[in-house]
Amino acid sequence: MPHFKKRIPNLTGCVVDDGTLLLKKLVGAGAFGKLYRGVETESACSSRRSSWASSSSDSSLSSSESSSSSESKPRVYAVKCLRNTVMYDGQESLAANERHFHSLVSNHPNIVTLRRHFTDSSKKHMFFVMDFYSSGDMSLAIADGLYHRNSALIKRTFAQLGDAVTFCHNLGVYHRDIKPENILVDHEGENPRLTDFGLATCYASTYDYECGTIPYMPPESFLESCTGPCYSDFSDAWALGITLINLVASQLPWDAARVSTDARFNEFIGGKKSFLHRHQPLSRPLIRFLARFLHLEPWKRIPLAEFAEKLEGIEDLFISEEELERASEGTREWARREGPGRPLVGESHTHGVGRGVIPRLALPVCRFAVGEASQGFRGVLRRLRFWRK
Protein backbone atom coordinates (compact mmCIF):
# COMPACT_ATOMS: atom_id res chain seq x y z
CA MET A 1 0.00 0.00 0.00
CA PRO A 2 1.40 3.45 -0.91
CA HIS A 3 2.39 5.85 1.81
CA PHE A 4 0.80 9.31 1.54
CA LYS A 5 1.90 10.96 4.75
CA LYS A 6 4.18 13.51 3.11
CA ARG A 7 2.62 15.94 0.70
CA ILE A 8 4.20 17.05 -2.53
CA PRO A 9 6.34 20.12 -1.85
CA ASN A 10 5.36 23.48 -3.28
CA LEU A 11 7.44 23.85 -6.44
CA THR A 12 6.42 27.44 -7.24
CA GLY A 13 9.38 29.22 -8.82
CA CYS A 14 11.13 25.99 -9.83
CA VAL A 15 12.24 25.28 -13.38
CA VAL A 16 11.40 21.77 -14.61
CA ASP A 17 11.44 19.67 -17.79
CA ASP A 18 15.14 20.18 -18.54
CA GLY A 19 14.95 23.92 -17.96
CA THR A 20 12.03 24.57 -20.34
CA LEU A 21 9.18 25.31 -17.90
CA LEU A 22 8.95 27.78 -15.02
CA LEU A 23 6.24 26.90 -12.49
CA LYS A 24 5.02 30.45 -12.11
CA LYS A 25 2.06 30.11 -9.77
CA LEU A 26 0.36 27.44 -7.69
CA VAL A 27 -3.30 27.43 -8.68
CA GLY A 28 -4.54 24.29 -6.94
CA ALA A 29 -3.57 21.52 -4.56
CA GLY A 30 -4.77 18.12 -3.42
CA ALA A 31 -3.49 15.25 -1.30
CA PHE A 32 -1.95 13.58 -4.35
CA GLY A 33 -0.67 16.54 -6.33
CA LYS A 34 -0.59 20.19 -7.27
CA LEU A 35 -1.50 22.27 -10.30
CA TYR A 36 0.60 25.18 -11.55
CA ARG A 37 0.46 27.89 -14.14
CA GLY A 38 3.60 27.13 -16.11
CA VAL A 39 5.39 29.50 -18.47
CA GLU A 40 8.05 28.69 -21.04
CA THR A 41 11.54 29.80 -20.04
CA GLU A 42 13.45 32.20 -22.27
CA SER A 43 15.79 29.42 -23.42
CA ALA A 44 12.83 27.24 -24.47
CA CYS A 45 11.20 30.17 -26.21
CA SER A 46 14.42 31.02 -28.06
CA SER A 47 14.85 27.41 -29.13
CA ARG A 48 11.30 27.30 -30.43
CA ARG A 49 11.78 30.59 -32.30
CA SER A 50 14.92 29.24 -33.95
CA SER A 51 13.12 26.06 -34.94
CA TRP A 52 10.19 28.06 -36.30
CA ALA A 53 12.49 30.41 -38.26
CA SER A 54 14.28 27.46 -39.81
CA SER A 55 11.05 25.75 -40.85
CA SER A 56 9.60 28.96 -42.29
CA SER A 57 12.71 30.06 -44.20
CA ASP A 58 11.27 28.75 -47.44
CA SER A 59 7.89 30.40 -46.97
CA SER A 60 6.91 33.88 -48.07
CA LEU A 61 7.69 36.91 -45.93
CA SER A 62 4.04 37.80 -45.46
CA SER A 63 3.11 34.39 -44.10
CA SER A 64 6.13 34.48 -41.78
CA GLU A 65 5.16 37.86 -40.38
CA SER A 66 1.61 36.70 -39.69
CA SER A 67 2.75 34.17 -37.09
CA SER A 68 6.04 35.63 -35.85
CA SER A 69 4.25 37.55 -33.13
CA SER A 70 2.70 34.45 -31.56
CA GLU A 71 5.92 32.46 -31.89
CA SER A 72 7.93 35.09 -30.01
CA LYS A 73 5.78 35.01 -26.88
CA PRO A 74 6.39 32.47 -24.09
CA ARG A 75 3.64 29.89 -24.03
CA VAL A 76 1.52 29.32 -20.94
CA TYR A 77 0.50 25.84 -19.81
CA ALA A 78 -1.36 24.14 -16.99
CA VAL A 79 1.23 21.88 -15.33
CA LYS A 80 -0.11 19.12 -13.10
CA CYS A 81 2.27 17.40 -10.69
CA LEU A 82 1.22 14.01 -9.30
CA ARG A 83 2.76 11.39 -7.08
CA ASN A 84 4.24 8.64 -9.21
CA THR A 85 3.40 6.03 -6.57
CA VAL A 86 2.87 2.38 -7.51
CA MET A 87 -0.06 0.80 -5.68
CA TYR A 88 0.88 -2.83 -6.01
CA ASP A 89 3.85 -4.71 -7.44
CA GLY A 90 3.55 -5.10 -11.19
CA GLN A 91 1.01 -2.28 -11.59
CA GLU A 92 1.43 1.17 -13.05
CA SER A 93 1.25 4.17 -10.76
CA LEU A 94 -1.98 6.14 -10.45
CA ALA A 95 -0.35 8.99 -12.37
CA ALA A 96 0.71 6.64 -15.16
CA ASN A 97 -2.85 5.31 -15.32
CA GLU A 98 -4.23 8.83 -15.75
CA ARG A 99 -1.55 9.71 -18.30
CA HIS A 100 -2.35 6.62 -20.34
CA PHE A 101 -6.08 7.26 -20.63
CA HIS A 102 -5.79 11.02 -21.11
CA SER A 103 -3.22 10.51 -23.88
CA LEU A 104 -5.52 8.10 -25.71
CA VAL A 105 -8.31 10.66 -26.07
CA SER A 106 -6.34 13.91 -26.05
CA ASN A 107 -6.77 14.73 -29.74
CA HIS A 108 -10.50 15.51 -29.54
CA PRO A 109 -11.42 19.23 -29.77
CA ASN A 110 -13.63 18.97 -26.67
CA ILE A 111 -11.06 17.26 -24.46
CA VAL A 112 -8.23 19.17 -22.78
CA THR A 113 -5.04 18.52 -24.75
CA LEU A 114 -2.25 16.73 -22.91
CA ARG A 115 0.84 18.15 -24.64
CA ARG A 116 3.50 16.03 -22.97
CA HIS A 117 4.48 14.40 -19.69
CA PHE A 118 7.71 13.78 -17.82
CA THR A 119 9.02 12.65 -14.44
CA ASP A 120 11.52 14.36 -12.15
CA SER A 121 15.00 12.98 -11.56
CA SER A 122 13.81 10.99 -8.53
CA LYS A 123 11.00 9.36 -10.56
CA LYS A 124 8.72 10.07 -7.58
CA HIS A 125 6.62 12.69 -9.36
CA MET A 126 5.02 12.85 -12.79
CA PHE A 127 4.16 16.11 -14.56
CA PHE A 128 1.42 16.65 -17.14
CA VAL A 129 1.74 19.66 -19.46
CA MET A 130 -1.70 20.65 -20.71
CA ASP A 131 -3.36 23.55 -22.47
CA PHE A 132 -4.11 26.41 -20.09
CA TYR A 133 -7.65 27.86 -19.91
CA SER A 134 -8.11 31.04 -17.92
CA SER A 135 -11.90 31.18 -18.26
CA GLY A 136 -12.64 28.43 -15.73
CA ASP A 137 -15.02 25.50 -15.55
CA MET A 138 -18.70 24.91 -16.17
CA SER A 139 -19.66 25.22 -12.49
CA LEU A 140 -18.47 28.83 -12.53
CA ALA A 141 -20.41 29.49 -15.73
CA ILE A 142 -23.51 28.13 -13.97
CA ALA A 143 -22.85 30.44 -11.02
CA ASP A 144 -22.46 33.39 -13.39
CA GLY A 145 -25.88 32.68 -14.91
CA LEU A 146 -24.56 32.06 -18.41
CA TYR A 147 -26.98 29.18 -19.03
CA HIS A 148 -30.06 30.74 -17.41
CA ARG A 149 -32.99 30.31 -19.82
CA ASN A 150 -30.57 29.81 -22.70
CA SER A 151 -31.74 26.53 -24.21
CA ALA A 152 -29.77 27.03 -27.43
CA LEU A 153 -26.48 27.43 -25.55
CA ILE A 154 -27.12 24.37 -23.38
CA LYS A 155 -28.03 22.16 -26.34
CA ARG A 156 -25.03 23.37 -28.31
CA THR A 157 -22.70 22.74 -25.39
CA PHE A 158 -24.13 19.31 -24.65
CA ALA A 159 -23.88 18.22 -28.27
CA GLN A 160 -20.12 18.85 -28.08
CA LEU A 161 -19.80 17.28 -24.64
CA GLY A 162 -21.76 14.19 -25.67
CA ASP A 163 -19.54 13.83 -28.72
CA ALA A 164 -16.42 13.96 -26.52
CA VAL A 165 -17.74 11.28 -24.15
CA THR A 166 -18.84 9.07 -27.06
CA PHE A 167 -15.36 9.49 -28.56
CA CYS A 168 -13.84 8.26 -25.29
CA HIS A 169 -16.18 5.28 -25.11
CA ASN A 170 -15.45 4.29 -28.71
CA LEU A 171 -11.77 4.14 -27.74
CA GLY A 172 -12.54 2.04 -24.67
CA VAL A 173 -11.99 4.88 -22.17
CA TYR A 174 -14.60 5.60 -19.48
CA HIS A 175 -14.21 8.83 -17.51
CA ARG A 176 -16.26 7.98 -14.37
CA ASP A 177 -16.12 11.47 -12.89
CA ILE A 178 -18.09 13.70 -15.26
CA LYS A 179 -19.36 16.86 -13.53
CA PRO A 180 -19.30 20.63 -14.21
CA GLU A 181 -16.06 21.04 -12.25
CA ASN A 182 -14.32 18.68 -14.68
CA ILE A 183 -15.55 20.51 -17.79
CA LEU A 184 -13.70 23.66 -18.82
CA VAL A 185 -15.59 26.24 -20.91
CA ASP A 186 -14.82 29.61 -22.49
CA HIS A 187 -15.99 32.99 -21.18
CA GLU A 188 -19.37 32.55 -22.89
CA GLY A 189 -19.91 29.08 -21.42
CA GLU A 190 -19.30 27.39 -24.78
CA ASN A 191 -16.69 25.04 -26.27
CA PRO A 192 -16.60 22.54 -23.36
CA ARG A 193 -13.43 20.57 -22.77
CA LEU A 194 -13.47 17.46 -20.62
CA THR A 195 -10.57 17.11 -18.20
CA ASP A 196 -9.28 15.07 -15.23
CA PHE A 197 -9.03 11.40 -16.19
CA GLY A 198 -7.83 10.40 -12.72
CA LEU A 199 -10.67 7.88 -12.27
CA ALA A 200 -10.79 6.68 -15.87
CA THR A 201 -10.82 2.99 -16.70
CA CYS A 202 -10.78 0.74 -19.75
CA TYR A 203 -13.20 -1.74 -18.17
CA ALA A 204 -16.81 -1.53 -19.35
CA SER A 205 -17.92 -3.22 -16.12
CA THR A 206 -16.15 -3.16 -12.76
CA TYR A 207 -16.77 -3.78 -9.09
CA ASP A 208 -15.49 -0.33 -8.14
CA TYR A 209 -18.48 0.79 -6.15
CA GLU A 210 -18.82 4.41 -5.04
CA CYS A 211 -16.31 5.57 -7.62
CA GLY A 212 -16.76 9.20 -8.67
CA THR A 213 -18.40 12.27 -7.13
CA ILE A 214 -21.42 11.34 -5.02
CA PRO A 215 -24.21 13.58 -6.46
CA TYR A 216 -23.34 12.45 -10.00
CA MET A 217 -23.10 8.71 -9.29
CA PRO A 218 -25.92 6.36 -10.45
CA PRO A 219 -27.81 4.31 -7.87
CA GLU A 220 -26.11 1.05 -8.87
CA SER A 221 -22.74 2.55 -7.86
CA PHE A 222 -23.62 2.45 -4.17
CA LEU A 223 -22.88 -0.67 -2.17
CA GLU A 224 -26.35 -0.72 -0.63
CA SER A 225 -27.94 -1.00 -4.09
CA CYS A 226 -25.47 -3.24 -5.88
CA THR A 227 -26.72 -6.46 -7.43
CA GLY A 228 -23.81 -6.94 -9.83
CA PRO A 229 -21.05 -4.96 -11.50
CA CYS A 230 -21.08 -1.24 -12.21
CA TYR A 231 -21.26 -0.36 -15.90
CA SER A 232 -18.83 2.42 -16.74
CA ASP A 233 -20.64 3.74 -19.82
CA PHE A 234 -23.97 3.92 -17.96
CA SER A 235 -22.24 5.76 -15.12
CA ASP A 236 -20.93 8.39 -17.52
CA ALA A 237 -24.36 8.74 -19.11
CA TRP A 238 -26.08 9.17 -15.73
CA ALA A 239 -23.54 11.85 -14.77
CA LEU A 240 -24.34 13.72 -17.98
CA GLY A 241 -28.03 13.67 -17.07
CA ILE A 242 -27.37 15.14 -13.61
CA THR A 243 -25.06 17.73 -15.19
CA LEU A 244 -27.86 18.71 -17.58
CA ILE A 245 -30.25 19.29 -14.67
CA ASN A 246 -27.53 21.37 -13.02
CA LEU A 247 -27.19 23.57 -16.11
CA VAL A 248 -30.91 24.16 -16.50
CA ALA A 249 -31.88 24.46 -12.82
CA SER A 250 -28.60 25.69 -11.29
CA GLN A 251 -28.98 23.04 -8.62
CA LEU A 252 -28.62 19.32 -8.03
CA PRO A 253 -31.78 17.22 -7.81
CA TRP A 254 -30.56 15.25 -4.76
CA ASP A 255 -27.48 14.77 -2.60
CA ALA A 256 -27.00 11.11 -3.53
CA ALA A 257 -28.95 8.47 -5.48
CA ARG A 258 -29.22 6.39 -2.31
CA VAL A 259 -32.53 4.79 -1.49
CA SER A 260 -31.74 4.46 2.23
CA THR A 261 -30.67 8.02 3.03
CA ASP A 262 -31.87 10.53 0.44
CA ALA A 263 -35.50 11.62 0.75
CA ARG A 264 -35.55 13.44 -2.57
CA PHE A 265 -34.17 10.49 -4.47
CA ASN A 266 -36.83 8.30 -2.87
CA GLU A 267 -39.43 10.82 -4.00
CA PHE A 268 -37.96 10.63 -7.50
CA ILE A 269 -38.29 6.83 -7.48
CA GLY A 270 -41.93 7.17 -6.45
CA GLY A 271 -42.79 9.38 -9.41
CA LYS A 272 -40.02 10.56 -11.70
CA LYS A 273 -41.99 13.02 -13.79
CA SER A 274 -44.02 14.49 -10.93
CA PHE A 275 -40.89 14.89 -8.78
CA LEU A 276 -38.98 16.74 -11.49
CA HIS A 277 -42.02 18.91 -12.25
CA ARG A 278 -42.51 19.87 -8.59
CA HIS A 279 -38.89 20.60 -7.72
CA GLN A 280 -37.07 21.57 -10.92
CA PRO A 281 -37.74 24.43 -13.39
CA LEU A 282 -37.71 22.08 -16.37
CA SER A 283 -40.00 21.97 -19.39
CA ARG A 284 -42.40 19.06 -19.79
CA PRO A 285 -40.55 17.61 -22.81
CA LEU A 286 -37.23 17.74 -20.94
CA ILE A 287 -38.80 16.04 -17.92
CA ARG A 288 -40.08 13.19 -20.12
CA PHE A 289 -36.61 12.87 -21.64
CA LEU A 290 -34.85 12.81 -18.25
CA ALA A 291 -37.31 10.29 -16.82
CA ARG A 292 -36.06 7.84 -19.46
CA PHE A 293 -32.42 8.90 -19.33
CA LEU A 294 -32.32 8.50 -15.53
CA HIS A 295 -34.07 5.15 -15.44
CA LEU A 296 -33.20 3.07 -12.37
CA GLU A 297 -32.31 0.06 -14.50
CA PRO A 298 -29.15 0.91 -16.50
CA TRP A 299 -30.01 -1.10 -19.61
CA LYS A 300 -33.36 0.75 -19.95
CA ARG A 301 -31.76 4.19 -20.18
CA ILE A 302 -31.57 6.13 -23.44
CA PRO A 303 -28.25 5.24 -25.14
CA LEU A 304 -25.61 7.93 -24.96
CA ALA A 305 -25.40 7.93 -28.77
CA GLU A 306 -28.99 9.26 -28.89
CA PHE A 307 -28.52 11.79 -26.11
CA ALA A 308 -27.63 14.90 -28.14
CA GLU A 309 -30.09 14.10 -30.94
CA LYS A 310 -33.07 13.74 -28.62
CA LEU A 311 -32.03 16.80 -26.60
CA GLU A 312 -31.79 18.87 -29.79
CA GLY A 313 -35.38 17.91 -30.58
CA ILE A 314 -36.64 19.64 -27.42
CA GLU A 315 -37.43 23.24 -28.31
CA ASP A 316 -37.30 24.75 -24.83
CA LEU A 317 -35.55 23.17 -21.84
CA PHE A 318 -36.98 25.59 -19.28
CA ILE A 319 -40.39 25.67 -17.65
CA SER A 320 -42.97 27.74 -19.53
CA GLU A 321 -44.42 30.94 -18.09
CA GLU A 322 -47.85 29.30 -17.87
CA GLU A 323 -46.50 26.35 -15.88
CA LEU A 324 -44.42 28.69 -13.75
CA GLU A 325 -47.59 30.28 -12.43
CA ARG A 326 -48.65 26.90 -11.00
CA ALA A 327 -45.15 25.91 -9.83
CA SER A 328 -43.83 25.84 -6.27
CA GLU A 329 -42.62 29.00 -4.59
CA GLY A 330 -39.04 27.75 -4.83
CA THR A 331 -39.31 27.35 -8.60
CA ARG A 332 -40.88 30.80 -8.99
CA GLU A 333 -38.08 32.25 -6.89
CA TRP A 334 -35.57 30.59 -9.22
CA ALA A 335 -37.20 32.26 -12.23
CA ARG A 336 -36.96 35.71 -10.61
CA ARG A 337 -33.19 35.37 -10.03
CA GLU A 338 -31.78 36.05 -13.46
CA GLY A 339 -28.16 36.55 -14.44
CA PRO A 340 -25.03 36.52 -12.27
CA GLY A 341 -25.37 36.09 -8.56
CA ARG A 342 -28.00 33.36 -8.57
CA PRO A 343 -27.34 30.64 -5.98
CA LEU A 344 -25.73 27.42 -7.14
CA VAL A 345 -27.98 25.24 -5.04
CA GLY A 346 -31.53 24.76 -3.91
CA GLU A 347 -32.33 24.36 -0.23
CA SER A 348 -29.83 22.02 1.44
CA HIS A 349 -28.08 20.75 -1.71
CA THR A 350 -24.43 21.51 -2.31
CA HIS A 351 -23.02 22.19 -5.74
CA GLY A 352 -19.88 20.13 -6.34
CA VAL A 353 -19.30 18.28 -3.09
CA GLY A 354 -16.06 19.21 -1.35
CA ARG A 355 -15.27 22.07 -3.67
CA GLY A 356 -14.50 24.54 -0.89
CA VAL A 357 -12.47 27.59 -1.84
CA ILE A 358 -10.16 25.88 -4.33
CA PRO A 359 -9.42 28.16 -7.32
CA ARG A 360 -11.01 27.28 -10.63
CA LEU A 361 -7.94 25.60 -12.13
CA ALA A 362 -7.43 23.50 -9.01
CA LEU A 363 -10.41 21.35 -9.85
CA PRO A 364 -8.74 19.01 -12.37
CA VAL A 365 -6.19 18.03 -9.75
CA CYS A 366 -8.65 17.31 -6.95
CA ARG A 367 -9.69 13.88 -8.22
CA PHE A 368 -7.17 11.07 -8.40
CA ALA A 369 -7.45 7.51 -9.61
CA VAL A 370 -8.38 5.22 -6.79
CA GLY A 371 -11.07 3.41 -8.73
CA GLU A 372 -8.88 0.43 -9.49
CA ALA A 373 -7.89 -0.01 -5.85
CA SER A 374 -9.57 -2.49 -3.57
CA GLN A 375 -12.68 -1.41 -1.68
CA GLY A 376 -10.76 -1.61 1.59
CA PHE A 377 -8.00 0.66 0.33
CA ARG A 378 -10.53 3.23 -0.87
CA GLY A 379 -12.10 3.13 2.57
CA VAL A 380 -8.73 3.92 4.13
CA LEU A 381 -8.30 6.87 1.78
CA ARG A 382 -11.73 8.20 2.67
CA ARG A 383 -11.06 7.97 6.40
CA LEU A 384 -7.78 9.78 5.93
CA ARG A 385 -9.54 12.39 3.79
CA PHE A 386 -7.30 11.59 0.84
CA TRP A 387 -10.18 10.64 -1.41
CA ARG A 388 -12.37 13.68 -1.90
CA LYS A 389 -15.98 13.35 -2.97
Task: CATH number of the domain at 293, please.
Answer: 1.10.510.10
Tell me if 361 is assigned to some domain: no
Which CATH number fits the domain that encloses residue 38? Answer: 3.30.200.20
Section 347-351 average pLDDT: 32
pLDDT at 170 over 70: yes
Same-domain status, 230 and 88:
no
Same-domain status, 127 and 143:
no
Tell me if 246 is assigned to some domain: yes
What is 72-127 written as a DSSP string? HSPPEEEEEEEE--BSSTTS-BHHHHHHHHHHHHTTSTTB--EEEEEE-TTSSEEE
Same-domain status, 271 and 305:
yes
Same-domain status, 126 and 251:
no
Same-domain status, 259 and 337:
yes
- What does the pLDDT read at residue 377? 38
Tell me if 23 is assigned to some domain: yes
Domain boundary, last residue among 134, 150, 166 = 134
Same-domain status, 159 and 305:
yes
CA distances from 311 to 42, 117, 163, 289, 290 (A): 48, 37, 13, 8, 10
pLDDT at 29 over 90: no
Tell me if 363 is assigned to some domain: no
Section 340-367 average pLDDT: 34
pLDDT at 13 over 90: yes
> Tens of pLDDT along 39-62?
999 887 777 666 655 665 555 545
Same-domain status, 113 and 165:
no
Q: CB burial class (10 A; 0-12, 13-18, 19+) of residue 203? A: middle
Same-domain status, 312 and 210:
yes
Domain boundary, last residue among 113, 134, 155 = 134
Tell me if 292 is assigned to some domain: yes
Same-domain status, 187 and 114:
no
- Cα(293)–Cα(280) distance, rounded to whole angstroms? 16
pLDDT at 3 over 70: no
Same-domain status, 63 and 151:
no
Domain boundary, last residue among 74, 107, 134 = 134
Tell me if 362 is assigned to some domain: no
Q: In what order do the strands lie in the sheet with 21-29?
A: 15-16, 21-29, 33-40, 76-83, 125-131, 114-119
pLDDT at 359 over 90: no
Domain extent at residue 45:
15-134
Q: pLDDT band for position 271 (50/70/90)?
A: confident
pLDDT at 386 over 90: no
Tell me if 65 is assigned to some domain: yes
- Looking at the structure of the chain, the number of domains it has is 2
Same-domain status, 144 and 278:
yes
- Cα(13)–Cα(17) distance, rounded to whole angstroms? 13
pLDDT at 340 over 80: no
Section 66-72 average pLDDT: 55
- What does the pLDDT read at residue 68? 52
- What does the pLDDT read at residue 49? 66
- Cα(241)–Cα(307) distance, rounded to whole angstroms? 9
Same-domain status, 67 and 170:
no
Tell me if 93 is assigned to some domain: yes
Count of beta carbons in the 10 Å neighbourhood of residue 314:
17
Q: pLDDT band for position 130 (50/70/90)?
A: very high
Cα pseudo-dihedral 28, 29, 30, 34, rounded to 10? 100
Section 170-190 average pLDDT: 95
